[in-house]
A and B are shown apart, each in its own frame.
Chain A
Amino acid sequence: MQYIRKIKWLILIIAAGFYACDDNNFCLSNQHAIQATFYSLSSGSENDTTLTGIYIWGANREDSLIYDSLNISQLFLPTNLNTDSTIFIIKQSVLVNNQVRSDSDFVQFNYSRHLNHVSSECGMTFNLVLDTIIYTNNIIDSVSIGYANINYGEDAENVKIYIEY
């Protein structure tokens, strides 16, 4: 009986801990945004750069700006989960010789959507795989896909946007 008394308290603590163990998951939001960075090749090598006076909105969503007159180098562009492509308009307005000079481009991201069950607490989301990018060349020189996967919980640069100057 001495033997049993010795293990009694140890068992009590371990087993009660098991039974009372609780899940404390937390869920992330906006995990289907494309992460992009502006780059310049003006110095002959690739350097990330900051653009001034940038406005960005989704196609047909002029009323809802994602970026509103900001100086930015990194972009988070929310994809439309109801379609396999999303178009954004990138506009730059800068003051040159007391005159506002504006240029804009559209960028269309084509992707495939893969339904992802995150967890019992967080429910579903989509993981995306970038396929192609179509764009105009006013501010933008070129666009390349660095990491095609847009996955829940991952923090990675998906796209490089090279600018004209």
Chain B
Amino acid sequence: MPKMLKYILSISLLVTSINSFSQEKTEEEKKKIPFEPGIAVGLNVGTFITPFFEPERIGMEATGRIKFNRKWFAVGELGYENVSFNKESYNYDSNGSFLRLGIDYNIFKVEETGNNDNIILGFRYGFGVADYKSDRFTVTDGYWGDYLGSIGSGTSTAHWGEFVFGLRSEIFKNFYMGWSARFRLLALTNNTQQLEPYAIPGYGKNDNRTNVGFTYNLEYYLPLKKKK
């Protein structure tokens, strides 16, 4: 059932964004609008949806975007993630934050000036840090008896790169909605404890050196130059 919900939600989000993206522009809207450099700030609302599917993970992510020209954007993403759960084999608590920096390239060939929709290819460098601990873990042994232990607080740092593909659409004047799919490659991790972190903030679950992620952003664009 959660998987089905996940499908329904993801498809509905995508359809919404694509529909807004592919709306036909009226003749009036096709009036030429000069390029305006500016800054966009927003939130990844996907982080509010994640706890419905993974209740152990709670976080928030803000995004900032500087538009240099019609093609290139500098992007920064900053957030935090707390993880807490109590399983039969171990319990776990972590508090972490992350920063991603990178660039986006807009491959969408604008057919009419004033259309600010984007099809984005991008790259991010990601850095995450988390303090974490396990107050109780059990290694099951049916013959000699279980091993019971605990692991005190430790710190984990991680560096990764991610490739980005996404769509971004101006749904109202200066108000953007967009999603992106991310393919992440974990490059370096450093843990002060034997226990590896359950999840790396900003990267996702720590079971593999590769991971996929998804963002769904709402952004407000602040032009830096006033229109003449």
- Give Cα A115 to B11, complex, Å: 42
- Give Cα A59 to B144, complex, Å: 10
B179 within 8 A of A: yes
- Give Cα A124 to B138, complex, Å: 7
| In contact, B10 and A8 (Cβ under 8 angstroms) | no
A71 within 8 A of B: no
B209 within 8 A of A: no
Most buried by B among A3, A66, A123: A123
Q: A12 contacts which of B15, B138, B144, B147 (Cβ < 8 Å)?
A: B15
How many residues of chain B get a CB closer than 8 Å to chain A's CBs? Answer: 40
- Give Cα A20 to B6, complex, Å: 6
| In contact, B89 and A124 (Cβ under 8 angstroms) | yes
Scan A23-61; emit 1 where CB is below 8 A from any B CB, else 0. 101000110100000000000000000000000001001
Interfacial chain B residues near A32, Cβ < 8 Å: 139, 141
| In contact, B167 and A11 (Cβ under 8 angstroms) | yes
Interfacial chain A residues near B6, Cβ < 8 Å: 19-20
Binds B, one of A74-82, A134-142, A157-165: A74-82
Nearest Cβ distance between residue B118 and chain A, in whole angstroms? 12
How many residues of chain A get a CB closer than 8 Å to chain B's CBs? Answer: 41
Most buried by A among B138, B145, B207: B207
| In contact, A18 and B214 (Cβ under 8 angstroms) | yes
Nearest Cβ distance between residue B113 and chain A, in whole angstroms? 16
| In contact, B143 and A16 (Cβ under 8 angstroms) | no
| In contact, B3 and A82 (Cβ under 8 angstroms) | no
- Give Cα A23 to B22, complex, Å: 33
Interfacial chain B residues near A22, Cβ < 8 Å: 3
B198 within 8 A of A: yes
| In contact, B205 and A120 (Cβ under 8 angstroms) | yes
| In contact, B142 and A126 (Cβ under 8 angstroms) | no
A5 within 8 A of B: yes
Nearest Cβ distance between residue A66 and chain B, in whole angstroms? 7
B103 within 8 A of A: no
A119 within 8 A of B: yes
- The 9 A-B pairs with the shortest beta carbon distances in the complex, nearest first, are A123-B89, A19-B10, A81-B147, A80-B144, A78-B143, A120-B198, A123-B90, A115-B194, A117-B196
Chosen A-B contacts, 7 in total, with CB atoms closer than 8 Å, are A8-B22, A12-B11, A18-B212, A19-B6, A20-B10, A81-B147, A82-B145
